[in-house]
Amino acid sequence: MFPPEWPTMTEARKLLAKANALLEEQPRSRSHQDRALALYRRALDFQDSRLVWRNVGIVHFNREEWPEAETAFLRARDHYWLGLLYEWTGRLEKAWQEIRQAEPSSEQARVQARIARQLGLAADAIPALEAWDDVDARFELIHLYDRAGRYADAWRTAEEANAMKGQRDPEPFPAMRAAVEPENRRESPVFIIGMPRSGTTLLERMLAQHPALASRGESLFFEFIANQLEAGERIANIGAAYLMSHQKRTVDKYPMNFRYLDLIQGTFPDARIIDMRRDRDDTLISCWFRNFQGNLP
């Protein structure tokens, strides 16, 4: 004999699975989010579930619908997401109270560390973060040690964290040189390159004030093309694709484009390339303490 709550639990789980599948398929689609929310609400009609309330809150959180997200997370009694929500909305004292009650994890410790740094409580968050040895936790720990004046520990941890990230394979460069032909000589986009943290964003904002220039931000266009070339493909009309939908002369400030200069100059021989330089030590320390995403050289 099945327990009386069995049918409702089964229906709730089916609806939950459908909603989750929608969000996995297109997580940023507004229509998919709306449909998922409707399914979550139907699931809640069958069973008042903390898990479903948390999922409802996450959808609202991603849409920056803060009151709805807060209500859902309170119903879920989810201290982690409440802490994250309060951090994002500037309620740091409440964020600190909630995140410290969340179930310990690397993610929880990192959020706690961020909040602690903003509240001037870096030393209080160090023990929780030291318990985790993944690369993201290591990089966050660097900042806590630095704020707490433990500079030797910060440097040691930076060495450990950067060693964990590995090195980039330089092999793609010959493929880039061999794969492109010059085109669009009359166009001359501007590319700002250099080390990260070297001032590329500041210069890009200044140039974008000129009426003849338009900012592309940090375009990953040439990184995408380079990845296609690594797979052995030959890409036609690269320049035309890059300039599509831009009437003005463009400024591309993706600093890591220095990896693709052969590809860029082969495509746009007359492009203007600005190599940003900052004091070596300042740039080094700023990069050393930052957990860049991807496999950077």
Query: What does each of the 297 residues of the chain score in pLDDT, given as a tens digit?
Result: 333 443 454 565 655 565 556 556 555 566 667 777 787 887 777 777 888 888 889 888 888 889 999 999 999 999 999 999 999 888 999 999 999 999 999 999 999 999 998 899 989 999 999 999 888 899 999 999 998 999 999 999 999 888 887 643 345 455 555 555 554 444 578 999 988 888 888 888 888 888 888 888 888 888 888 877 765 555 556 777 777 666 778 899 888 888 888 888 888 888 899 998 888 888 888 888 887 765 555
Distance CA 191, CA 219 (A): 10
Q: Where are the alpha helices (DSSP H) in the chain?
A: 6-25, 30-46, 50-62, 66-76, 79-88, 92-99, 106-119, 122-130, 135-147, 151-165, 172-179, 200-207, 221-230, 238-243, 261-267, 280-288
Residue where the block lists tokens 């968050």: 125
φ, ψ for residue 180 (rounded to 5)? Answer: -115, 155
DSSP SS3 for 193: strand
Residue where the block lists tokens 């309060």: 86
Distance CA 274, CA 253 (A): 9
Residue 198 near residue 280, CB atoms below 8 Å = no
Paired strand residues for 192? 274
Domains of the chain: 6-165 (1.25.40.10), 172-279 (3.40.50.300)
Is 0.85 topped by the overall pTM?
no
Residue 65 has what pLDDT?
A: 87
